[in-house]
Amino acid sequence: MEIASKYDPSQVEGKWYRYWQENRFFHSEPDGREPYTVVIPPPNVTGVLHMGHMLNNTIQDILVRRARMTGKNACWVPGTDHASIATEAKVVAKLAREGIRKTDLTREQFMEHAWEWTHRHGGIILEQLKKLGASCDWERTCFTMDEKRSESVLKVFVDLYNKGLIYRGVRMVNWDPAARTALSDEEVIYREQQGKLYYLRYKIVGEDGYAVVATTRPETILGDTAVCIHPDDPKNAWLKGKKVTVPLAGREIPIIEDEYVDIEFGTGCLKVTPAHDINDYLLGEKHHLETIDIFNDDGTLNRFGGTYEGKDRFDVRREIENDLIQAGWMEKIEPYENKVGFSERTNVPIEPKLSMQWFLRMERLAGPALEAVTGGAIRFYPAKFGNTYRHWMENIKDWCISRQLWWGHRIPAWYLPGGGFVVARTEEQALSLAREKTGHPELAISDLRQDEDCLDTWFSSWLWPISVFDGISRPQNKDIEYYYPTSDLVTAPEIIFFWVARMIMSGYEYRGLPCFHNVYFTGIVRDKQGCKMSKSLGNSPDPIALMERYGADGVRMGMLLASPAGNDLLFDKSLCEQGRNFNNKIWNAFRLVRGWKTDGHLPQPEAAAIAVKWFRGRLNRTLTEMNDSFEKYRLSEAMMSAYKLFWDEFSSWYLELVKPAYEQPADMQTCRDTLGFFDVLLRLLHPFMPFITEELWQALSPRLAGESIMIAPMPQSDGACPEEEDACLQAFERAKEVIGAVRTIRLQKNLPNREALVLEVADASRDSRLDAAIIKMACLAEIRTVAEKSAGAVSFLAGTTEYAIPLGNRVNAEEEQARMEAELCYLEGFLASVMKKLGNERFVANAKPEVVENERKKQADTESKIRTLEDGLKQLKKTACSE
């Protein structure tokens, strides 16, 4: 292949993605290999790619591509979520722009609009993921409301109902007035809000005095049915057994007593509004109080609101404050900060509301799911999220699974003409049950009325690892038997309760097994200032534009450079630029190697042989490091290991050592070794950077049709002797130190590389096997063993060995003496700190033996360096005196 002078992602990425798809490299079918299964956290069907998706799917793709290259049968199932609240809101807004109200349509008409919207806008995000390089099995794409997934949802609902785990009842729920639906506790986000604490006067019936009640929500007084005091509160004991009048409403309500009341809050008098506060509701049940619901579903006041009927709750709060002041019922108002619950979807304050809803009992389901994580069957990365999970599971509440929406899975319950209901998967089954339950065989389906509500979106998502393989409807099919349990889940910690915990529950309920073995929690993508990226804040870049500018591989690497598991990512475009620069580095290195001319008669130079041996050891070491990082799900560290290996070791050292002189040919052995290393490096980097690695791998040597790096084997260590390898690596690090010191002296003395220098060393017993490499990299004429360094030589230490470069009259004795004295001063100070530590008996007694031994090694090395410097200074002064 002809290699362009510059890497252009736009000419590479689309070409190879089509090639992968045409050859069905992403597709998986059950076979004899070990399966590796990942199910994508399904994004909203009408959503578009954002930075959180980029991070999550980059990590998934790295894991899947690596598994595929390690010989596993990798299956990454993509799909989308119908997202009831979000999608219905978009459809309602679209209809409003067309002058159509939802209330003007039948359910069937609205669903036609919703499906049309979904077909038009759905799936965009999946196409965008292809630009990222996501190697999903697109032939297995699922949708939470497609036929198979819908069938699974209804079957599970009926099953859980028949098991007594699903029930219907009036309960206090979190009500979203904007979406006009109930929410689960997990869909409520609590925020600190600066508000007011209102002290209201409730007149004592039959007396002149009044009780003062503190509240943050004066508009709800219209639903008050009691005032409660603590039975042991001396300051309010005079109120026992009395009645008070609700301000503005004029209704008489009793004073009740309960230990629930906090004596220290406000005045110790608590207004009780059973319809609009969960704790008041419990008090109302206990004391048999009347319940007055003053709100409509949209947050406006109803007929119980009196003169405020039809007005929004927050408008009423402002009006009623003024009315209470005018009427003399306001004692005082204080600033007050409290936590207010907001809808996770619509971002409006939720309203506690008594409502008839469907619930799922969670306690029995939670038991096996808790044991799975605490017992290690499912592992969290990072492990810290296990405590969060355990706390929630041990305090779990029943799940409100009904939503007052049309877009979603309609609850399969049918109400009977004479009261009661039946639960069934189909109309036919419902009719059969209805006839049996009522004893009226003449009943027709038109006599039944199906529940209008739909199920919470998460009620379909919690089945995802099973339903994508049709494991609910066909529990013994070959796909579910082979691919389940899945291997890894990559997701965000904010949905650990919404989704992760519930999937684990469904896995044990319907398969008796964990639904995955490992959960990798990503962090939140934030900007440089630490703010969460969002389109509403305007601080989130367009991922597609980023990929067009920096290439998909550049963006993928940029995300990985700063994304340790579970920790937030401070994203900056400079990270993508760094990723693009790495692409260019790889590209240019490849062009350099492919540009070499070879001569089959040339022997391999000694320096090249040294470089090959060293880099093979360095490669083995990196393979071990990366395997360890992947086992611990430290993907960012694995990426950095590969990055440093290529940039720091291969490009900066290996290639410099082996490249032939200008316009000279390379020997065949070195060329073969170098191309072999390039092949290994490309395969090592492929999961992180799939496009450029495929392009260069294809150009590395002639390939057959259907060959691809993505199905080439992941490199493995060659099994060299670890002791011998360690010795080689340590020796090369000492050689690097020598080379670096020579380069520093050249820079300080302004000596060009073309001027070959002599390097003197006084240690005759030193290891000279790397001299050829040092001579080439430091541009030396020779390395000479001497009994005593030359006069006027500049010396340096590498480890404990002293080296010197004779410079004749090119060295300034005063400057050299000053440099050596400064270094000696530093070393003496460093030695003093080491000796202080070793002189501490507690440190020596309590520190780990290897730590103490390391300090003693520091002592010995430093003392040796000090002796060498002192000898050097004596020699320098002696030379100066003789002159």
* 419: helix, strand or coil: coil
Tell which residue, 705, 710, 700, 669, has the closest CA to residue 586. 700
State the Cα–Cα distance between residues 33 and 25, nearest whole angstrom. Answer: 15
- pLDDT for residue 789: 82
Residue 672 sits at φ, ψ, to 5 deg, of: -65, -45
Give the DSSP letter of residue 498. I
| CA 474 to mean position of chain CA atoms | 33
Strand 666-667 and strand 757-761: the pairing is: unpaired
- pLDDT for residue 247: 95
Q: Which amino acid is at 734?
A: R
- pLDDT for residue 535: 64
Length of the chain as a residue count: 883
* 201: helix, strand or coil: strand
Conformational region of residue 478, where left means phi above 0, alpha means psi within -120 to 50, and beta covers everything else: alpha
Give the 3-state DSSP-derived string for 644-677, with helices as H, strands as E and coil as C.
HHHHHHHHHHHHHHHCCCCCCCEEHHHHHHHHHH
- pLDDT for residue 34: 98
- pLDDT for residue 684: 98
- pLDDT for residue 797: 84
List of the chain residues with pLDDT < 70:
1, 535-536, 564-566, 719-720, 809-813, 875-876, 878-883
Tell which residue, 267, 246, 243, 238, has the closest CA to residue 202. 246
State the Cα–Cα distance between residues 168 and 412, nearest whole angstrom. Answer: 13
The whole-model pTM stands at 0.84
Question: How do residues 497-508 score in pLDDT, each as one tens digit?
Answer: 989 999 999 999
The sheet with strand 801-806 has its strands ordered as 780-785, 757-761, 801-806, 793-798
Cis amide bond preceding 42, omega within 30: no
